Structure 1
Amino acid sequence: RAVGRRQTVGGAVLVDGRAAQDREDRVTVAAGVGQPLHDQHAGRATAAASRASTLSRRSAAAARTASAAADSAADHAEKAADAAEEAARLAGEAVDYANRSTAAANAAVEAANKAYDAVTEARTVEQEAREAEIARLDEETEEAIEVARQQRRAETDRLERANRERTQEARLSEELVALITAMEAALKDGRTGEAVSKGRQAAVRLLDGSGTWTREAAAYALAGVDEDVLRWIEADRLIALRQDNAEFVAATAAISTQNVAQAAAAALQTEDAATIRTFLEKGAVEAARDDNEVEVTTLLADPSTGTAVRRAAEAALADGSAEALHTFLHVERAAAVHEDDKVAATTLLETGGPYVRAAAMVALEGDTHMLRRFIGTTQHEFARIDHDHATHISAVRAAIARAAKVAQDALEDAARASEAAAVARQAAKEATEWATKAEGWAQDAKASAEEARQNAEAAEASAAAAAQSARTASAAAAEARKASSVARDAANRAVRSAETAASYAADAQASATRARQAELAAGKSFAEAAVAATEAWVEVVQAAIRQAIQDAIDNSKVPIDGETGLPDGAESCLTPFGDPIEHRNNTNPWELGWSWLTGSGPRSQCFGPDDEFTGIYREHTHTKGVLEYFLREWQRTGKYELGRTYMYDYALSGPEGVGKYLTDYGTLATAGLTGNLAYTFLGSHQVRMTPIRENADGSVTWRYTAYNESDIESATHPPVIGYTDLWSDTVGAFVDKVIGDEGPMSPKTQVIEFNVTLGP
């Protein structure tokens, strides 16, 4: 059964299917993710697939037929040779034995010729299969290019739209500044009616695209009377602007290096508006100078850094200023990387195998992300496919060459038998002719043996290259996952910072509203009520600035490293919280165990809410206990924070784990009739709960995620002592080293994801 391997370059998908055990090569390329192919293209692809499949089957069958025919010819030749020797030995019955040896020799020649014809057919069909495969690859690559071009056009449209929006934003910004200037001048000159009119217009514009505090203050002013608008012009707008600046500084501390976070905290601690504004304008860049210099130097030390990036990095480093280093890393580098990516992809068009070349063609026609992903990671996967492909071709050709050698040996033996038969018949001329033919076929057999040896060596070299490409691809994927983890860590901090700011801003507006209503209820004027509202609002602002300072200090002490503590491969299974979980995996616990024992199947197994394995897992008392615990201890007490992930692992360690150990592994004794096979397979594993949505009815939707890595240590350790560091560092480390990272019983990762609504 062919194993399909899918590799994606942006919107194009290349698929390689191989059945090496059948010596069958079935390679296809498909494109068009995101929209269906036209019927004409689909028809061509189907026809090409049929041709390639038919030829590959014929190639494999012909190779097997050639081998069988060669073996048969060898048998006939051996019998003929035996008969000839017998004829020569028994001279007294020379005529009878000469006739018998001649008949045997003729049969041997006929069988050997059939074997040789079968080998010739196998070579022809194998070559046709290769040509059909490349033709199909070219045809479907062309269709993939069409999809890539669509994505590139979409990217161009997005950039043009963004440029138009930036131009519009600049124009609106100029208009807003003019309105603010006009309203302040009108208020200063006592033209309150004009000030209110201009102020309302400005407040409306600030409802979109401004900071949290500015939006809340503008909304409050618009909802109030003229006195509230005048108070906003006079004081509230500036207070909100200063607080937004403070929140921006706190957010910068949340997502930046420790040096920048420390500088941000220092700026906030001054509580001086000018100092905070200066930090935003240039202080952050200055604080990042040393970190940026290290990053640029590291980039230059990396031999894989491209020419364009290296040139721009060297220029920034030579300048040495904080602004130059910042500009290179955050503005110029993207364009330089894209330039280097195009050069690298163009080079691969000349040097790569057929699949790398096809993927490079697609990537060069696609958008920026498609090209970056190809150069950064997937080119190594395509190289592995090319090497696997070459390994298979060499193996098939080596098999045909070996069959050819056997057939040629059979022809030589048949010729020797015919020579012996001719000698027995006293046909000297015919014997000489057969001897000459035998010599020629002997030379052909040597050539075929050499061809088989060379093909075998080529197959071995290609297999080694494929393994190296797989290791390179794995390393590239690991680096990409690490970068993604760092970005996600920073994004989570930024989200929490924004949520904190929004919470304080909402509290401030509520406090201002209550103060205003209280003043009006007490018979005070609208102007006095507006002043009271501002004072109440400022109290919350002061609390918010204190929180921002503390958050900045906390973030300055904890670096963003992206370390998640997850098993290798788990990252690839994770679904963003806002997206539906679409895993479809029908692997059951027994199949999962067999996959680990034999080293077959994927290294990471992702299970979604509707999968059988997940259903079994959810029936365990620990899974149910996790849900009950978070509903009781976190949700109903209000201690949880949206987006923050909490831990509640399942452990078999210690004396308390003995009972769970016996229960879980006792399931095997009843072949799964009792207990829970999912927990039996997973054993100790990590459990994470993340509240992702608060619902209108008071319930909360949580993301339940379980992670596990299966390896030989976890499968063999005994209760209590087997779960200690001593065991892991000695016996566990030894058995892990013996098994290694690949093959039977090597590490594999499982991830289970599902959403669950708890409460109210």
Structure 2
Amino acid sequence: AAAGAAQSEAAEAKRQAAIASSAANRATNAASTAQSLATTAAAAARTARDAANSAADHADKAAAAAEEAVKYAGKAVDYANRSTASAAAAVLAANTATKAVSDALLVEQNARKAEAETLEQDKLQAIEEVRLLAEIETKEVAAYQNKAAQAQQTDQATKDLITKAEQALAANDMAAAAVQGRKAAVALLNSRGAWTRQAAQFALSGSDDDVYAWIDLDRALAQGQDDRETTLHVATVAAPKIAAAAQGALESPDSKAVGDFLTGGMKRASDEDNRVAIIRILGSNPGRSVTIAANKALDLNTTEAFSRFFDHDYPEAIREDDAVRTLTLMNTGGAFTKAYAEVAMEGPTWMRRNFVNLVQYRTAQLDHDTATHVAAIRGAIAAAAKIAEKAQENAALASKAGAEARSAAAEAKVWAAKALDSAAKADDYAAEARRNADAADKSAADAKASANTASTAAATARGAARTANYSANKAMDSARSALKSSYSAQSSAASARASAIAAGKDAATAAAAATQARQIAAAKREAEVKAAAKAAAEKARREREAKTDPADSGTNDQINPNGTGADADEWWNDAG
């Protein structure tokens, strides 16, 4: 059922593209939030820098005052007052420097608090939004399951109608055959296959004889052609062995070959590629659930096991591993990683997949960048504190010199003790500055590593998106091709019927002429399909040997209305 399956793939791909677009919008919002936080942090950094510079200025003044105090302390008593005044100025300058450092510390603390509060508010808002997305996902899954169940019931009901029509025709009960045939044709108006839809439309628009022809020959002819269109589509997107198997089915004289390929041969031909894909998955160091499921499939080593792995076990295992990984990062990551992980846990399944695959590396980079900034600011403040304490030491020495100049031994001892205490504190602040500098260097290195990982993850995600989009674009190609050929067949049939009627033939003869024209069109298309499948199989073989990925091009960065072709004419104009 080429056109329908292709259109279904295209519709699903478009839905995924819409989800990806929504994710991109959220990424843009996250970037805006990050910019706002960066602005706040930068303001705090500037304030701290100014405070540090102020401390340095005051420290220089304290040192100058201390030198002057020492200079005059050893002279006559007449200079004692001047020495004392200089010492007092040194103390005042040192105290001002210390106050500037205290202000810088407060600004830095407020900046951290502002960042945390902003991140918390953004997180809470995001959680509210993603919970709605999770509800939508739950409803969509339920609706899909319900639709799938209904489709199965409808398919069976349609088969029953076709069987009744065929039985009535075989029994020569023409009235019942016409009634049951029309019911069956109506049921197939929404068929996935373009040829099947067109044949049903043609029968319903004609006489009872056209319905009889549809029951007897046209429906089966259309179904067979739809199967060939589907097989051709598989050949255009599949790996070399599958494409070769598709080509063989199309060229086989056995009328059941194409049907057998679609029901089982395609899966059997994919065994080797599936086995390699599973081994590659294991080599990517997946989570526990994926590892168990992959090893189970390899141990069973059957077509059914491989199919079940990719159709059911692998997606389920990924969901489990993504939840575990997200929870782990929520408990162990930095502030940004924890916030994003918490949001992802509240959101739909695809959001956790996106978080584990890509977002976690970007949030790690944000965390490391923040740590680098914090360490740099705190290192600058510690350096300023060292200068301030050095100023206090100089002021104390100046005061000591002044006291000695006045012969105030007790006071001099007090100032000497203060000088020693300030010197020790200055050493401590110097060590703290070095530690912060080391931390800043490490965080910067970690941020660079996270950025590189994020870049690699983004490239992987882009490759996966291109692969999905390539399949969707090729599905559009196949859908358009099948539609065009079915339109052509219908046009030929309509023309043949009209010609017969114009020649005075009866309805039965006109219906037979339409069937014959449809058979001729189908035979022509069958030859085209065989040639196209052969070319596709050869192309797949060459690309595999050259290790070329046909999906890896800018054309597949999106789903195109015209598929992979450059034709600007929209698909809905094909009916013309």
Q: Same fold (TM over 0.5)?
A: yes
Please say if residues 494 and 514 of structure 2, whose CA atoms lie closer than 8 Å, have aligned partners that are also in contact: yes
1:346 equivalenced with 2:327 (yes/no) = yes
Please say if residues 106 and 418 of structure 1, whose CA atoms lie closer than 8 Å, have aligned partners that are also in contact: yes
Please say if residues 11 and 148 of structure 1, whose CA atoms lie closer than 8 Å, have aligned partners that are also in contact: no
How big is the shift at 1:84? 2.7
How big is the shift at 1:16? 6.1
* Corresponding residue SS for 1:27: helix
CA distance in structure 2 between the aligned counterparts of 1:501 and 1:271, rounded to whole angstroms: 22
How big is the shift at 1:414? 0.7
Q: Which residue of 1 aligns with 2:275?
A: 293
Q: Which residue of 1 aligns with 2:115?
A: 133
Deviations 1:256-283 (Å, cap 9, x if unpaired)? 1111010000000014331111111100
Q: How does 1:38-53 map to 2 (within 5 A)?
A: 53=40
CA distance in structure 1 between the aligned counterparts of 2:192 and 2:559, rounded to whole angstroms: 27
Consecutive unaligned residues of structure 1, counting only runs of 5 or more, are 1-6, 20-25, 29-51, 579-641, 647-689, 700-760
Q: Which residue of 2 aligns with 1:693?
A: 570
Q: Which residue of 2 aligns with 1:539?
A: 520
Equivalent residue in structure 2 for 1:67, among 17, 42, 52: 52
Deviations 1:635-687 (Å, cap 9, x if unpaired)? xxxxxxx54455xxxxxxxxxxxxxxxxxxxxxxxxxxxxxxxxxxxxxxxxx
Q: Cα–Cα, structure 1 residues 218 and 129, in superposed 2: closer, same or farther, change >3 Å?
A: same
Equivalent residue in structure 2 for 1:383, among 364, 389, 394: 364
Please say if residues 62 and 391 of structure 2, whose CA atoms lie closer than 8 Å, have aligned partners that are also in contact: yes
Q: Which residue of 2 aligns with 1:523?
A: 504
Q: Which residue of 2 aligns with 1:279?
A: 261
CA distance in structure 2 between the aligned counterparts of 1:379 and 1:558, rounded to whole angstroms: 38
1:99 equivalenced with 2:50 (yes/no) = no
Consecutive unaligned residues of structure 2, counting only runs of 5 or more, are 1-21
CA distance in structure 1 between the aligned counterparts of 2:265 and 2:560, rounded to whole angstroms: 35
Q: Cα–Cα, structure 1 residues 438 and 150, in superposed 2: closer, same or farther, change >3 Å?
A: same
Q: Which residue of 2 aligns with 1:626?
A: none
The number of aligned residues is 548
Equivalent residue in structure 1 for 2:393, among 412, 419, 429: 412
Q: Which residue of 1 aligns with 2:536?
A: 555
* Corresponding residue SS for 2:407: coil
Please say if residues 84 and 421 of structure 1, whose CA atoms lie closer than 8 Å, have aligned partners that are also in contact: yes
Q: Which residue of 1 aligns with 2:18?
A: none
Please say if residues 469 and 558 of structure 2, whose CA atoms lie closer than 8 Å, have aligned partners that are also in contact: no
CA distance in structure 1 between the aligned counterparts of 2:79 and 2:506, rounded to whole angstroms: 136
1:215 equivalenced with 2:197 (yes/no) = yes
Please say if residues 145 and 366 of structure 1, whose CA atoms lie closer than 8 Å, have aligned partners that are also in contact: yes
Q: Cα–Cα, structure 1 residues 695 and 285, in superposed 2: closer, same or farther, change >3 Å?
A: closer
> Could you tell me which amino acid in structure 1 is paired with residue 359 of structure 2?
T
Q: Which residue of 2 aligns with 1:78?
A: 63
> Could you tell me which amino acid in structure 1 is paired with residue 30 of structure 2?
L
Q: Cα–Cα, structure 1 residues 395 and 18, in superposed 2: closer, same or farther, change >3 Å?
A: farther
> Could you tell me which amino acid in structure 2 is paired with residue 74 of structure 1?
A
- TM-align CA RMSD: 2.5
CA distance in structure 2 between the aligned counterparts of 1:235 and 1:695, rounded to whole angstroms: 29
> Could you tell me which amino acid in structure 2 is paired with residue 255 of structure 1?
V
Q: Which residue of 2 aligns with 1:373?
A: 354
Please say if residues 10 and 370 of structure 1, whose CA atoms lie closer than 8 Å, have aligned partners that are also in contact: no
How big is the shift at 1:180? 1.0
CA distance in structure 2 between the aligned counterparts of 1:376 and 1:529, rounded to whole angstroms: 61
How big is the shift at 1:576? 4.7
Q: Which residue of 2 aligns with 1:505?
A: 486
How big is the shift at 1:79? 2.0
1:173 equivalenced with 2:158 (yes/no) = no
Q: How does 1:480-629 map to 2 (within 5 A)?
A: 480-559=461-540, 561-563=548-550, 576-577=559-560
* Corresponding residue SS for 2:570: strand
Please say if residues 489 and 518 of structure 2, whose CA atoms lie closer than 8 Å, have aligned partners that are also in contact: yes
Q: Cα–Cα, structure 1 residues 160 and 499, in superposed 2: closer, same or farther, change >3 Å?
A: same
How big is the shift at 1:539? 0.9
> Could you tell me which amino acid in structure 1 is paired with residue 395 of structure 2?
A
> Could you tell me which amino acid in structure 2 is paired with residue 191 of structure 1?
D
Q: Which has the higher strand share?
A: 1
Of 80-89 and 556-565, more deviation after overlay is shown by 556-565
CA distance in structure 1 between the aligned counterparts of 2:23 and 2:477, rounded to whole angstroms: 34
CA distance in structure 2 between the aligned counterparts of 1:414 and 1:222, rounded to whole angstroms: 105
CA distance in structure 1 between the aligned counterparts of 2:314 and 2:488, rounded to whole angstroms: 42
How big is the shift at 1:489? 2.5
Q: How does 1:21-60 map to 2 (within 5 A)?
A: 26-27=36-37, 53=40, 57=43, 59-60=44-45
How big is the shift at 1:76? 2.3
1:112 equivalenced with 2:94 (yes/no) = yes
Q: Which residue of 2 aligns with 1:154?
A: 136
Q: Which residue of 2 aligns with 1:49?
A: none
Please say if residues 387 and 465 of structure 1, whose CA atoms lie closer than 8 Å, have aligned partners that are also in contact: yes
Please say if residues 466 and 552 of structure 2, whose CA atoms lie closer than 8 Å, have aligned partners that are also in contact: no
How big is the shift at 1:201? 0.6
1:308 equivalenced with 2:289 (yes/no) = yes
How big is the shift at 1:246? 1.1
Q: How does 1:711-726 map to 2 (within 5 A)?
A: none
Please say if residues 10 and 373 of structure 1, whose CA atoms lie closer than 8 Å, have aligned partners that are also in contact: no
CA distance in structure 1 between the aligned counterparts of 2:166 and 2:471, rounded to whole angstroms: 39
Q: Which residue of 2 aligns with 1:14?
A: 30
CA distance in structure 2 between the aligned counterparts of 1:523 and 1:565, rounded to whole angstroms: 58
How big is the shift at 1:161? 1.0
How big is the shift at 1:524? 1.9
Of 190-199 and 479-488, more deviation after overlay is shown by 479-488
How big is the shift at 1:253? 1.2
CA distance in structure 2 between the aligned counterparts of 1:366 and 1:10, rounded to whole angstroms: 15
Equivalent residue in structure 2 for 1:450, among 431, 453, 458: 431
Question: TM-score with structure 1 length normalisation?
Answer: 0.69
How big is the shift at 1:80? 2.2
Q: Which has the higher helix share?
A: 2
Q: Which residue of 2 aligns with 1:224?
A: 206
Q: Which residue of 2 aligns with 1:728?
A: none
How big is the shift at 1:101? 1.6
Please say if residues 309 and 333 of structure 1, whose CA atoms lie closer than 8 Å, have aligned partners that are also in contact: yes
CA distance in structure 2 between the aligned counterparts of 1:374 and 1:96, rounded to whole angstroms: 77
Q: Which residue of 2 aligns with 1:478?
A: 459
Equivalent residue in structure 1 for 2:411, among 406, 417, 430: 430
How big is the shift at 1:317? 0.4
Please say if residues 391 and 459 of structure 1, whose CA atoms lie closer than 8 Å, have aligned partners that are also in contact: yes
Please say if residues 555 and 564 of structure 2, whose CA atoms lie closer than 8 Å, have aligned partners that are also in contact: no
> Could you tell me which amino acid in structure 2 is paired with residue 164 of structure 1?
N
CA distance in structure 2 between the aligned counterparts of 1:219 and 1:695, rounded to whole angstroms: 18
* Corresponding residue SS for 2:504: coil
Please say if residues 501 and 544 of structure 1, whose CA atoms lie closer than 8 Å, have aligned partners that are also in contact: no
Q: Cα–Cα, structure 1 residues 486 and 694, in superposed 2: closer, same or farther, change >3 Å?
A: closer
* Corresponding residue SS for 2:256: helix
Q: Which residue of 2 aligns with 1:599?
A: none
Q: Cα–Cα, structure 1 residues 542 and 645, in superposed 2: closer, same or farther, change >3 Å?
A: closer
Q: Cα–Cα, structure 1 residues 302 and 565, in superposed 2: closer, same or farther, change >3 Å?
A: closer
CA distance in structure 2 between the aligned counterparts of 1:470 and 1:409, rounded to whole angstroms: 40
CA distance in structure 2 between the aligned counterparts of 1:72 and 1:462, rounded to whole angstroms: 30
* Corresponding residue SS for 1:207: helix
Please say if residues 418 and 434 of structure 1, whose CA atoms lie closer than 8 Å, have aligned partners that are also in contact: yes
CA distance in structure 2 between the aligned counterparts of 1:255 and 1:565, rounded to whole angstroms: 13
Please say if residues 403 and 409 of structure 2, whose CA atoms lie closer than 8 Å, have aligned partners that are also in contact: yes
Q: Which residue of 1 aligns with 2:19?
A: none
Q: Which residue of 2 aligns with 1:467?
A: 448
Please say if residues 472 and 559 of structure 2, whose CA atoms lie closer than 8 Å, have aligned partners that are also in contact: no
